[in-house]
Amino acid sequence: MTNPDIPAGNSFRAFAFIVFLTSLLLGGCSTLKDKYIDQREPSHALPRETPTRLGQLAYTPPEDLPDASGFILLDSGMDALSSRLWLAGQAEKTLDVQYYIFHGDRTGAVVADALLQAANRGVRVRVLLDDIYVHEHETGILALDSQPNMEVRVFNAFRHRGKNPLIRLSQFFVDGDRLNRRMHNKLFIADNQFGITGGRNIGDEYFQAHEEFGFVDLDVLTSGPVVAEMSRAFDDFWNSQAVVPVRAIPGYNKARQQLPRLGEALSNARKSMEATPYWKELQARPLSAQMQSGEFHWLDGVAHTVFDPPDKIDGDSHISDLLLGQLIGLRVDPEEELLIVSPYFVPGKIGMDWFAYLRARNVKVKVLTNSLAANDVPLVHAGYARYREPLLEMGVELFELKPLPNTSPKKKNLAGSGSSRSSLHAKTFVFDRKRAFIGSFNFDPRSALLNTELGLVIDSPIIAQIVALMSEQGMAPLNSHRLSLQGKDDERKIVWTSETNQGPVGTDGEPNATRWQRFMMEMLMLLPIEENL
């Protein structure tokens, strides 16, 4: 998501004041209660040596690779949902959940019910959400926090609250530099023994449950030493000055009275979901059988958790402290090949310099991103479009994912679709088919410099090969358009080539896009907002 970031000069402050007064007149405004913010208590992950059922099921590294963790790639949205529900059901001591988006739709309700049921069993549940969408389900979130074993905190909170959208807009004018920086991390950790991270938020479109739209995404389920690193990342955010307990949000005392009603509604939502064909398919997945038996087919790898610090929102972090700097410190610079999958791809000057450096060393660079017709944020596509020609000129291979048609939910993974229209959402790098990055980081200025991000760098040729194959399946002619430059000098133009039932077809305009979409994209390209994309 791209949020406005408008300089707060005197004229803008005056305008913001007018907007703010208007919002007060239209629909009321309340403010966070400082006394509850000041009472924020620190807490930490469960010690890994604590005996738990999940500890007994946890990955055991081979003797020749004692520092390894075990991994299962979740390229199916159904597997991604079932693994989260299984962890919530198996947890005995703690659940730590951190997300940018947590929808209140069918799968969101099922996950929320699983968390509430865990809290009712006595599990300590910590939920950390970015505040950008909390207002959409604020009453329910406040009610969940009233369960004695569950605590919810929000990251980088809007100080003034209310349902009127002008209240939020006015704060961007006066505090835009801070509010434009969001927490994009995704974590789901049970008993500090099993964890999930990757590209998915919580919602129907991420788990193959949306009837009209879905994301092609990738998560990873892991167990082993790297989970402790993931927990430390969660704790850094949970205990940071950038988070606010939701009890500081006005209306908390009233909302907590809604917990019994909310619990009943979530239970009914789960029962309703269990009666659907979707649920039957989910239960029939091979991973579901592994979770039922407790015998997992792990892939071995030594991994490191890389993540931006929570104080990145202050805007003064050194590059070495950021996720990008940590990647550099791990020396993942490829020597032969780099594969990038990024739904939002805006390389900027730093990225272009890196690609030029790689190409000067004859490193093959292949990038898969969304086409205009598949992109859910056209503004970002406009930012990317400026770089296509110079990238192609330096020899970077570009592929744009088509808006894939409906097939079957079972086939929705990095190579296929499970909804009437799919958009790429996975974020992966593969370095020389020896190491792979899987996480929340998009290759754009927003992920690099504004939002906080998190991911795993996994040193494993097997995993890297699998992620590479997934990437190349997405780049295949049936699934993507391959871009090339044709013509000479001033007459050179970009051509999109892909496979159809009639054979290879090339076009010199944004494929599958309407004339209006193309016009709007050209207009958006004129806006000087790249640093916010």
- Is 427 in the active site? yes
Q: Are residues 209 and 246 in the same domain?
A: yes
> Which amino acid belongs to residue 469?
L
Spatial separation of the C-alpha atoms in residues 180 and 130, rounded to whole Å: 12
User: Has 186 been annotated as catalytic?
Assistant: yes
Q: Looking at 103, 160, 427, 481, which residue is catalytic?
A: 427
Strands 435-439 and 428-431: what pairing? antiparallel
Q: What does pTM read for this prediction?
A: 0.92
Catalytic residue among 160, 366, 425, 434: 425
State the pLDDT at residue 27: 53
**How many other C-beta atoms lie within 10 A of the C-beta of residue 183?**
29
Residue 55 is assigned to a structural domain of this protein: no
Q: Which of 432, 434, 444, 481 is catalytic?
A: 432
Whether 184 is a known active-site residue: answer yes
Beta bridge mates, 98? 128, 187
Confirm whether 63 is domain-assigned.
Answer: no
Asked about 204 being catalytic, the answer comes back as no
DSSP output for 350-403: HHHHHHHHHHHTT-EEEEEEE-TTT-S-HHHHHHHHTTHHHHHHTT-EEEEE--
Please give the tally of structural domains in the chain. 2
* CATH number, residue 187: 3.30.870.10
Domain presence at residue 307: no
Residues 202 and 101 in one domain: yes
343 and 288 in a common domain: no
Q: Which of 103, 184, 366, 381 is catalytic?
A: 184
137 part of a folded domain: yes
- For residue 460, give both structure tokens: 């494993």
Residue 516 lies in a domain: yes
With 0-12 CB in 10 A as exposed, 13-18 as middle and 19+ as buried, what is 63?
exposed
Could you list the residue range(s) of the whole structural domain that residue 263 is in? 10-49+71-293
Whether 266 and 349 map to the same domain: the answer is no
Q: Are residues 193 and 322 in the same domain?
A: no
Given the DSSP bridges, would you call strands 299-307 and 428-431 parallel, antiparallel or unpaired? unpaired
Domain presence at residue 313 = no
Catalytic status, residue 381:
no
Determine, yes or no, domain membership for 5. Answer: no
Measuring CA to CA, which residue among 427, 473, 478, 477 is closest to residue 454? 427
Residues 505 and 382 in one domain: yes
Tens of pLDDT, residue by residue, the chain (533 residues): 344 333 444 555 555 566 555 555 445 578 999 888 888 899 999 999 999 999 999 999 999 999 999 999 999 999 999 999 999 999 999 999 999 999 999 999 999 999 999 999 999 999 999 999 999 999 999 999 999 999 999 999 999 998 788 888 889 988 999 999 999 999 999 999 999 999 999 999 999 999 888 999 999 999 999 999 999 999 999 999 999 999 999 999 899 899 999 999 999 999 999 999 999 999 999 999 999 999 999 999 999 999 999 999 998 888 889 999 999 899 899 999 999 999 999 999 999 999 999 999 999 999 999 999 888 888 899 999 999 999 999 999 999 999 866 443 444 444 333 344 789 999 999 999 999 999 999 999 999 999 999 999 999 999 999 999 999 999 999 999 999 999 887 788 999 998 877 778 888 888 888 778 778 877 877 777 777 76
267 and 348, same structural domain? no
CA angle 257, 258, 260 (to 5 degrees): 100
Together in a domain, 289 and 338: no
Residues 369 and 457 in one domain: yes
Q: Which of 5, 75, 145, 191 is catalytic?
A: 191
Q: How far apart are CA 136 and CA 244, in angstroms?
A: 17
Per DSSP, the three-state class of 421 is coil
196/82 same-domain check:
yes
Q: Do 289 and 328 reside in the same domain of the chain? A: no
Tell me, yes or no, whether 278 and 410 share the same domain: no
425 is catalytic: yes
Residue 106 maps to a domain = yes
CA angle 24, 28, 33 (to 5 degrees): 110
